[in-house]
Structure 1
Amino acid sequence: MNPARALWLILALLFTNPVWAFQTKVVSIPSAAMHQSFDATVVLPEQYAHARPGQRFPVVYLLHGSGGDYTDWTANAHIGRLADRYHVILVMPDGGHESWYIDSPVDPRSRYETYVGKEVVAYVDAHFHTIATKEGRAITGLSMGGFGALSIALDRPNEFGAVGSISGAVDPRNCEDEPGIDGVFGDPARHQAFWDSKAIVASAQSFKTAHIDLTIDCGVNDSLVESNRTLHERLVALGVPHDYAERPGGHTWAYWSNAIQYQVLFFSTSFRRHGFAAGIRTAQA
């Protein structure tokens, strides 16, 4: 082969197939609230290994859906590339199969809001070089995890500066047939007030004072799209700034693995707006 042509082919491959150098770790994070430890997946961007002393990285927390676990995002979506592209740490905690990421009023053993919203955040900040402020954290999730991200962010507005939901179950009252949901929310008849209080569509007003950057999307063929449209309409009526998108697709990994790319871009923009240029800030800044 002509040497010049061989060199051209090598350069073309380098530019069309970038080398991703992120690191994936599994860590065990203890929960004092639930008296046990749970595994979590952490993805560190390439820049993390070469960071200068004092450099810190923003964190995006990704919550799995019903029946899933801490391995779902890495197994089904190329999220490591997003860590490299936007210079962020990605954390995927285990939220239990049907926890709905709440502190259950009927099952004292299910304290997943406290675990994810407080204990996981504290562990990650203590063990990794993070920007340990509200403005340096974002949280999102899919389906049950979309509900969980919005619920946790609203209940803990000083912990997260940005929040997203992908195909989120934003009104659990429409999910009474989901296996196991009564076990954490309680019987809908006897615990109606709690169900109502946890419905994101009924809590839209809370976003007015939370000062959290917000992005929501759902597939047009998703059974949850109507409740997401209702939430969007209420946010518009209340004048709450947010991004909202509907794209072709349903309640599938094909949709979620595409949607997460837009959401991490949204979070990266939020981080930059708060002064985290290129996703990194020194501890002294």
Structure 2
Amino acid sequence: MKLKLILLLICCQSILAEASQIDTVMVNSASMNKSIANIVIVPDNYSRHQESFPVLYLLHGAGGDHTNWLSKVPAIQEYADQYDMIIVCPDGDVTSWYFDSPIDKKMRYETYLSKELVESIDNTYNTIAEKSGRAITGLSMGGHGAFYLAFRHQEVWGAAGSMSGGVDIRPFPKNWDLSKRLGDYAIYKENWENNTVINMVHLLKGDNLKLIFDCGVDDFFFDANKRLHTKLLERNIPHDYTERPGGHSWDYWANSIKYQLLFFNDYFAY
């Protein structure tokens, strides 16, 4: 009995030793003069190998924070091990929408994500520090943010995804603090037109940026995603697009992330 207990303890210690590592990394944002928290999941192979690892940036939705993905979908820790990739979950404020606000100079999350955070992660971890080793995706506000950032910074990210993304924010002028970021729609219409993802398709050229997005048919963002899909088809922009049953829920996103990780893993392996 004692021998069995010792063997069990050794086995448990071995499993823990091979488990992925979870770090909370504080990154200073010079553009916003504050320190921002980020969850970084490092795969189990990281400590045993010297090669560089690809990085997936995974964005939360409105009302969330950097802990959402790990707390709601703890399986992402296993996915980091399975695909040998680093997963970074940044804090994007409650409703930053991940852009540099044209009316609130204290909200500069485009600069933070595309420059300050990426540089910090590459300096801290053993990463593939080029677009071939970086992807970005997110849910809802984070789906908008992932496409927004990747469309505008194709030199930073080589692949991008969106899950139930708010890819056209114009139909929602009174929601999710958007007017605090862009101004009242009736007065600052140009801000809204210039910062909605569906109006940024002109920035894409061929398959320079690998794209995947999906949305549940019962989601209030479904129409916007379908219109973005149609627009990409019209412009001959290659992309993976999926409609499936479901609404705006963690059950949907926990399922969606599994398919997107396969897509990103294929991109990193190419």
TM-score, normalised to structure 1, is 0.87
* Structure 1 residues 217 and 188, CA gap change in structure 2 (3 angstroms): same
Within a 5 Å distance, the mapping from 1:254-273 to structure 2 comes to 254-273=251-270
Give the counterpart of 2:20 among 2, 22, 31: 22
CA distance, structure 2, for counterparts of residue 264 and residue 174 of structure 1: 30
Question: RMSD of aligned C-alpha atoms?
Answer: 1.9
Give the counterpart of 2:108 among 107, 111, 117: 111
CA distance, structure 1, for counterparts of residue 208 and residue 242 of structure 2: 20
Structure 1 unaligned blocks of 5 or more: 1-9, 11-16, 274-285
Is 1:213 equivalent to 2:206 in the alignment?
A: no
Tell me the SS of whatever aligns to 1:104: coil
**Structure 1 counterpart of 2:59, which letter?**
L
Deviation at 1:205, TM superposition (A): 2.5
Tell me the SS of whatever aligns to 1:172: coil
Q: Look up the match of 2:71.
A: 75
CA distance, structure 2, for counterparts of residue 20 and residue 250 of structure 1: 36
**Structure 2 counterpart of 1:199, which letter?**
T
Within a 5 Å distance, the mapping from 1:115-264 to structure 2 comes to 115-208=112-205, 211-264=208-261
Q: Look up the match of 2:49.
A: 51
CA distance, structure 1, for counterparts of residue 233 and residue 254 of structure 2: 27
Tell me the SS of whatever aligns to 1:164: strand
* Structure 1 residues 210 and 182, CA gap change in structure 2 (3 angstroms): farther
Tell me the SS of whatever aligns to 2:31: coil
Give the counterpart of 1:60 among 51, 56, 60: 56
CA distance, structure 2, for counterparts of residue 175 and residue 63 of structure 1: 20
Q: Is the 8 A contact 1:20 1:81 kept in 2?
A: no
CA distance, structure 2, for counterparts of residue 191 and residue 150 of structure 1: 22
CA distance, structure 2, for counterparts of residue 268 and residue 51 of structure 1: 18
Tell me the SS of whatever aligns to 2:171: helix
Q: Map Cα deviations across residues 144-169 of structure 1 (whole Å, 9 max, x no partner).
A: 00000100111111000000000000
CA distance, structure 2, for counterparts of residue 195 and residue 102 of structure 1: 12
Deviation at 1:20, TM superposition (A): 6.9
Q: Map Cα deviations across residues 228-285 of structure 1 (whole Å, 9 max, x no partner).
A: 0000011011110000001111100000011011111101101111xxxxxxxxxxxx
Tell me the SS of whatever aligns to 2:204: helix
Q: Is the 8 A contact 1:157 1:210 kept in 2?
A: no
TM-score, normalised to structure 2, is 0.92
Q: Map Cα deviations across residues 64-111 of structure 1 (whole Å, 9 max, x no partner).
A: 000100000000011111101110000001000010000000000000
Q: Look up the match of 1:31.
A: 29
CA distance, structure 2, for counterparts of residue 83 and residue 140 of structure 1: 15
CA distance, structure 2, for counterparts of residue 20 and residue 202 of structure 1: 45
Q: Is the 8 A contact 1:146 1:170 kept in 2?
A: yes
**Structure 2 counterpart of 1:24, which letter?**
I
CA distance, structure 2, for counterparts of residue 233 and residue 206 of structure 1: 16
Matched residues, percent identical?
Answer: 44
Poorly superposed stretches of 4+, deviation over 4 Å = none
Structure 2 unaligned blocks of 5 or more: 1-7, 9-14
Q: Map Cα deviations across residues 115-159 of structure 1 (whole Å, 9 max, x no partner).
A: 011111000000000000011000001000000010011111100
